[in-house]
Chain A
Amino acid sequence: MAAPHPESWIRVTPEGLYCEPGDFHIDPARPVARAIISHGHADHARPGHDAVLATPETLAIMAARLGEGGAGRRPMPLGYRQPLVQNGVRVTLVPAGHVLGSAQVVLEWQGSRIVVSGDYKRQPDPTCAPFEPVACDVFVTEATFALPVFRHPPAGQEVRRLLDSVALFPGRAHLVGCYALGKCQRLIALLRAAGWERPIHLHGAQAAMCALYARFGVALGELRPVPRPERRGEGVLAGEIVLAPPSAAATPWARRLAEPVTALASGWMRVRQRARARGVELPLVLSDHADWDDLLHTIAETAAPEVWVTHGREEALIHALAARGVRGRALHLIGREEEEEAPPPEAPEAEAPAAMGLA
Chain B
Amino acid sequence: MSLPAFAELLERLLFSPGRNAKLALLRRWFATQPDPERGLGLAALAGELSFSTARPALVRDLVATRVDPVLLAWSHDYVGDFAETVALIWPEPPERPNRPPPALSEVVEALELAPRAGVPALLEGWLDVLEPGGRLALIKLVTGGLRVGASGRLARQALAEWSGQPIEELEEVWHGLAPPYRPLFAWLEGQGPRPDPRDAPVFRSPMLAQPLEEAEAAALDPAAFRAEWKWDGIRVQAAAGPGGRRLWSRSGEDISPAFPEILEAMDFHAVLDGELLVVREGVVAPFADLQQRLNRKLVSARMLRDFPVALRLYDMLFEAGEDLRPLPFDTRRARLEAWFARTHPARMDLSPQLAFASVPQLRALREGARAAGIEGLMLKRADAPYLAGRPKGLWWKWKRAPLTVDAVLMYAQRGHGRRSSSYSDYTFGLWRADGELVPVGKAYSGYTDRELVWLDRWIRAHTTARFGPVREVEKALVLEVAFDAAQFSSRHKSGVALRFPRIARLRPDKPAAEADRLETLLALVEH
Taking Cβ atoms with an 8 Å cutoff, the residues of A that contact B are 147-151, 153, 161, 165, 168-169, 249-255, 259-262, 270-273, 275-277, 279-283, 313, 315-316, 319-320, 323
Contact = CB atoms under 8 A, between A and B. Distances in A.
Given A149-B75, A319-B68, 5 more contacts: A147-B71, A161-B8, A270-B88, A272-B84, A279-B469
Range for the number of chain B residues in contact with chain A? 35 or more
A281 B21 contact: yes
Interface in B51-92: 67-68, 70-71, 74-75, 78-81, 84-85, 88-89, 91
Interface string B395-439: 000000000000000000010111011100000000000000000
Contact of B71 (A250, A260, A283, A319): A319
A271 B78 contact: yes
Nearest to B27: A168
B74 A147 contact: yes
Given A151-B88, A168-B25, A281 B79 contact: no
B251 interface: no
A250 B75 contact: no
A252 B15 contact: no
Contacts, number: 89
Best-surrounded residue of A148, A151, A255 (most CB of chain B within 10 A) = A148
A252 B421 contact: yes
Contact of B12 (A150, A151, A282, A323): A282
B75 A148 contact: yes
A313 B21 CA distance: 37
A293 to B, nearest CB: 9
Nearest to A317: B71
Contacts of A279: 414, 416, 420, 469
A188 B188 CA distance: 42
14 contacts: A150-B88, A165-B12, A169-B21, A250-B420, A252-B456, A271-B78, A272-B14, A272-B84, A277-B469, A279-B416, A279-B420, A281-B21, A283-B15, A316-B71
Contacts of B472: none
A272 B132 CA distance: 12
A325 B366 CA distance: 80
Contact of A281 (B16, B84, B85, B131): B16
Contact of B17 (A275, A281, A315): A281
B28 interface: yes
B78 A280 contact: no
A169 B24 contact: yes
A280 B68 CA distance: 32
Contacts of A255: 421-422
- Of all A-B residue pairs in the complex, the 7 with the closest CB atoms, nearest first, are A149-B88, A254-B421, A149-B75, A148-B89, A149-B89, A255-B421, A147-B75
B420 A262 contact: yes
Given A148-B89, A149-B75, A279-B469, A320 B420 contact: no
A275 B11 CA distance: 11
A254 B420 CA distance: 9
A149 B79 contact: yes
Given A168-B25, A249-B420, A254-B421, A149 B15 contact: no
A81 to B, nearest CB: 34
A148 B25 contact: no
B508 interface: no
Given A153-B131, A168-B24, A250 B78 contact: no
B468 interface: yes
Contact of B68 (A149, A153, A276, A323): A323
Given A147-B71, A275-B15, A316-B74, A259 B88 contact: no
A169 B16 CA distance: 12
